[in-house]
C-alpha cells in the first residue's frame, strides 16, 4: 500500500493579522502538527529565541545559504531576508508528518505553483483599521516599521484570491477552528487521491 505523504500547510497574510497567534493555537491543539523554523536577517525581538522562533543570520550567511540551494523558498520582506530551510520540510513530508509554513505572500505564491499538493491559506483581517490596531498593539516594531508593514498590506490583500482559502481572523477561536477544518478536509482529500492512484 502506498504510504501517505505529510500535508504542507502554508499560512500567509499581512503582518499583524494574527498568523503567529493562530499557528501557536494550532500547534497546542494538534499533536501531529509541526511548524517550520525560518531563517531571517531581521533583528531579534525580545521574545525571539534563536533556533526556536527563527534562525538569525547575517546577510552574508543568508546569501551563502541561497547559493547552496538550502532554501525551500525565500523572499525579501521590508528589506530583510526570510527563508524556509528545505531539509526539515522535505523530511517531515516524506515521513508523512504535516508541517506548517508561516510565510509572507511573495513566498507563499512562489511555492504554490511548484508545490500544488500543499494547501494555501490566506489569513485576512476583519478590516484594515483592525490590522493597524493589532500591529500597533503588538508593540514589537518602530512606528516606521509599522507604516512599512501597513503599506505592504494593501498589495498583499490584493493577492488573497490566489490562495485556496481565505480565513478572516476576527474571533481567534473561530479562525483556528476554520484552519483545523481546512486541514482535516485536505487530509481526507489527499488520502482519497492516494487510494485512487493505488487502484
What CA–CA distance (Å, rounded) separates 190 from 9? 13
| Cβ pair 89, 72 in contact under 8 A | yes
What CA–CA distance (Å, rounded) separates 199 from 183? 25
* Rounded least distance, CB 15 to ligand 5GP, Å: 5
In the bound state, the residue with its beta carbon closest to ligand 5GP is 107
Burial 166-180 (b: 16+ CB within 10 A, else e): ebebeeeeebbebbe
* Rounded least distance, CB 187 to ligand 5GP, Å: 23
Cα–Cα nearest to 107, from 147, 162, 53: 162
Binding of ligand ADP by 18 (CB under 6 A): yes
Tell me the DSSP string of 140-162.
-S-HHHHHHHHHHHHHHHHTGGG
- Answer for which of 18, 41, 104, 167 binds ligand 5GP (CB under 6 A) is 104
Q: Which does 118 bind (CB under 5 to 8 A by kind): ligand ADP, ligand 5GP, none?
A: none
Q: Which is nearer to ligand ADP, 20 or 88 (CB)?
A: 20
Q: How far is CA 140 from CA 42, 70, 83, 122, 144, in A?
A: 12, 29, 21, 22, 12
Q: Which is nearer to ligand ADP, 81 or 93 (CB)?
A: 81
Q: Which is nearer to ligand ADP, 26 or 183 (CB)?
A: 26
Q: Which is nearer to ligand ADP, 117 or 147 (CB)?
A: 147
- Answer for which of 9, 33, 102, 153 binds ligand 5GP (CB under 6 A) is 102
- Residues 134-173 vs ligand ADP: string with x where CB under 6 A? x--xx------------------------------x--x-
What CA–CA distance (Å, rounded) separates 171 from 131? 13
- Determine the 3-state secondary structure of 68 from DSSP: coil
Q: Where on the chain is the footprint of ligand 5GP (CB under 6 A)?
A: 15, 19, 38, 42, 73, 75, 77, 82-84, 102-104, 107
Residue ranges in contact with ligand ADP by CB under 6 A: 15-21, 134, 137-138, 169, 172
Amino acid at each position: 500500500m502506498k504510504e501517505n505523504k505529510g500535508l504542507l500547510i502554508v499560512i500567509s497574510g499581512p503582518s499583524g493579522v494574527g498568523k503567529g497567534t493562530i499557528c501557536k493555537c494550532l500547534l497546542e491543539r494538534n499533536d501531529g502538527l509541526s511548524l517550520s523554523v525560518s531563517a531571517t536577517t531581521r533583528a531579534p525581538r525580545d521574545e525571539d529565541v534563536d533556533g526556536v522562533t527563527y534562525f538569525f543570520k547575517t546577510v552574508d550567511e543568508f546569501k551563502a545559504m541561497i547559493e547552496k540551494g538550502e532554501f525551500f523558498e525565500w523572499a525579501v520582506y521590508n528589506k530583510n531576508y526570510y527563508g524556509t530551510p528545505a531539509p526539515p520540510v522535505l523530511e517531515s513530508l516524506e515521513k508523512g508528518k504535516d508541517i506548517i509554513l508561516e510565510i509572507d505572500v511573495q513566498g507563499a505564491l512562489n511555492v504554490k505553483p511548484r508545490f500544488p499538493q500543499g494547501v494555501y491559506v490566506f489569513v485576512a483581517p476583519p478590516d484594515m483599521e483592525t490590522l493597524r490596531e493589532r500591529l500597533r498593539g503588538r508593540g514589537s516594531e518602530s512606528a516606521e516599521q509599522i507604516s512599512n508593514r501597513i503599506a505592504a498590506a494593501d498589495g498583499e490583500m490584493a493577492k488573497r484570491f490566489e490562495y485556496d482559502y481565505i480565513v478572516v481572523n476576527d474571533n481567534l477561536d473561530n479562525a483556528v477552528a476554520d484552519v483545523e477544518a481546512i486541514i482535516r478536509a485536505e487530509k481526507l482529500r489527499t488520502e482519497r487521491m492516494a487510494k485512487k492512484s493505488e487502484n
